[in-house]
Chains A and B, each alone.
Chain A
Amino acid sequence: MQVPETFDYERASNIDDAIALLERHGDEARLIAGGHSLLPMMKLRLAFPEVLIDINDVPDLDHIRIDGDEIAIGAMVRHAAILDSALLAEHYPIFRDAERVIADPLVRNRGTIGGSFCQADPAEDLSAVGAALGGSVVVRSSSGSRTVPMREFHEGPYETKVGDAEILTEVRFPIRNATGSAYEKVERRVGDWAVAAAGAFVQLDGDMIADAGIGLAAVGADHFIVPDAEAALRGKPAIRESFEEAAQLCHDQCSPVTDQRGPEDYKRHLARELVLRALTRATARARGEES
Chain B
Amino acid sequence: MVMTGPSGGGRTAHIGRAAHRAEDAHLVTGHSRAVGNLVSAASLHLGVLRSPMAHATIDGVDLSGALALPEVVAAFSGADLASTWVQPLPVSGPDDAHRPPQWPVAADRVRFVGEPVAVVAATSAAAAVDALEHIDVDYGPLPAVPSVDQALEDRDLVHEDLGTNVVFRFQGQRSGDLDAAFDTSNVVLSRRYQQSRVMGVALEPRTVVAEPGSGGQLVIRTSTQVPHRIRSHVALMLGRDESSFDVIAMDVGGGFGPKLDCYAEEILCTELALRLERPVTFVATRTEDLQTTSHGRGLRYDITIGGRTDGTLTGLQVQVTGDCGAYLSRVGANILLNGNAVTPGCYRWEAYGFDATGVFTTTVPTAAYRGAGRPEAAYAVERAINDLAHALGLDPADVRRRNFPAPDEFPFASIGGMTFDSGDYASGLDTALDAVDYPTWREAQAARLAAGDHRRLGIGMASYVDRCGTGPGMSEFGAVHIDPSGQVRVTSGLGPTGQGTGTTLAQIVADRLQVDMDAIEVVFGDTTRIPRGKGTFGSRSVSVGGVAVAGAVDRVIAAARRAAAMLLEANEEDLDVADGGLVVRGDPGTHLSFADIAAAVENREVDDMDGLQAVHDHEPDGFTFPFGTHAAVVEIDTETGRVDLLRFVAVDDSGVIINPALLQGQVHGGVAQGIAQALYEGVVHDDNGNLLTSSLIDYLVPTAPDLPHLETLTTTSHGDNPLGTKGVGESGTIGAPPAVVNAVVDALRGFGVQDVQMPCSPQRVWQAIRDGQQATRG
Contact = CB atoms under 8 A, between A and B. Distances in A.
Q: Do A and B bind each other?
A: yes
Interface of A: 1-3, 5, 44, 104, 186, 188-193, 195, 260-263, 266, 269-270, 273-274
Contacts of A270: 640
A190 B698 contact: no
Contacts of B603: none
A273 B766 CA distance: 12
A270 B762 CA distance: 10
B283 A266 contact: no
Interface string B638-664: 011110000000000000000000000
A1 B283 contact: yes
B692 A195 contact: no
B703 A190 contact: yes
Interface of B: 45, 125-126, 128-130, 283, 285-287, 639-642, 680, 684, 692-693, 695, 697-698, 700, 702-703, 705-706, 761-763, 766-767
A188 B680 contact: yes
Given A104-B703, A190-B706, A3 B125 contact: yes
Contacts of A188: 680, 700, 761-762
B78 to A, nearest CB: 23
Given A191-B703, A260-B698, A186 B762 contact: yes
Given A1-B126, A2-B286, A195-B762, A273 B639 contact: yes
A260 B684 contact: yes
13 contacts: A1-B45, A2-B285, A44-B695, A188-B680, A188-B700, A189-B680, A192-B700, A193-B697, A195-B762, A260-B692, A261-B763, A263-B767, A266-B763
Nearest to A274: B640
B703 A2 contact: no
Given A188-B700, A191-B703, 15 more contacts: A1-B128, A1-B129, A2-B285, A3-B125, A188-B680, A189-B702, A192-B697, A260-B693, A260-B698, A262-B761, A262-B763, A263-B763, A263-B767, A269-B766, A270-B640
Nearest to B698: A260
A164 to B, nearest CB: 27
Contacts of B641: 186, 266
Contacts of A260: 684, 692-693, 698
A83 B642 CA distance: 24
Nearest to B282: A1
A3 B129 contact: yes
B114 to A, nearest CB: 15
B286 A266 contact: no
A5 B127 CA distance: 10
Contacts of B697: 192-193
B131 to A, nearest CB: 12
Contacts of A192: 697, 700
Count chain A CB atoms within 10 A of each CB in B126, B695, B705, B766 and give the residue with the most.
B766
Contacts of B286: 2
Contacts of A262: 761-763
B654 to A, nearest CB: 30
Count chain B CB atoms within 10 A of each CB in A104, A186, A188 and give the residue with the most.
A188
Given A2-B285, A2-B287, A3-B125, A186 B698 contact: no
Contacts of A190: 702-703, 705-706
Count chain A CB atoms within 10 A of each CB in B45, B286, B700 and give the residue with the most.
B700
A97 to B, nearest CB: 15
A109 to B, nearest CB: 16
Count chain A CB atoms within 10 A of each CB in B128, B640, B761 and give the residue with the most.
B640
A186 B684 contact: no
Contacts of B640: 186, 270, 273-274
A2 B205 CA distance: 12
A250 to B, nearest CB: 15
Contact of A266 (B702, B706, B766): B766
A189 B706 contact: yes
Contacts of B703: 104, 189-191
The 3 lowest CB-CB distance pairs between A and B, nearest first, are A1-B125, A262-B763, A190-B705
B639 A1 contact: no
Nearest to A262: B763
Contacts of B700: 188-189, 192
Contacts of A186: 640-642, 762
Contacts of A5: 130
B41 to A, nearest CB: 15
Contacts of B763: 195, 261-263, 266
Nearest to B288: A2
Contacts of A44: 695
Nearest to B706: A190
Contacts of B130: 5
Contacts of A266: 641, 763, 766-767
B126 A3 contact: yes
A190 B679 CA distance: 12
Contacts of A1: 45, 125-126, 128-129, 283, 285
Contacts of A261: 763
A191 to B, nearest CB: 7
A5 B761 CA distance: 36
A3 B761 CA distance: 32
A260 B694 CA distance: 12
Contacts of A273: 639-640
Contacts of B698: 260
A192 to B, nearest CB: 7
B772 to A, nearest CB: 15
Contacts of A2: 285-287
Contacts of A274: 640
Nearest to A185: B640
A270 B45 CA distance: 48
A44 B285 CA distance: 11
A193 B698 CA distance: 10
A263 B767 CA distance: 10
Contacts of A269: 766
A175 to B, nearest CB: 32
A189 B639 CA distance: 17
A290 to B, nearest CB: 18
Contacts of B287: 2
A167 to B, nearest CB: 28
A263 B761 CA distance: 12
A193 B763 CA distance: 14
A46 B692 CA distance: 16
Nearest to A4: B126
Contacts of A263: 763, 767
Nearest to B679: A189
A1 B126 CA distance: 7
Nearest to A191: B703
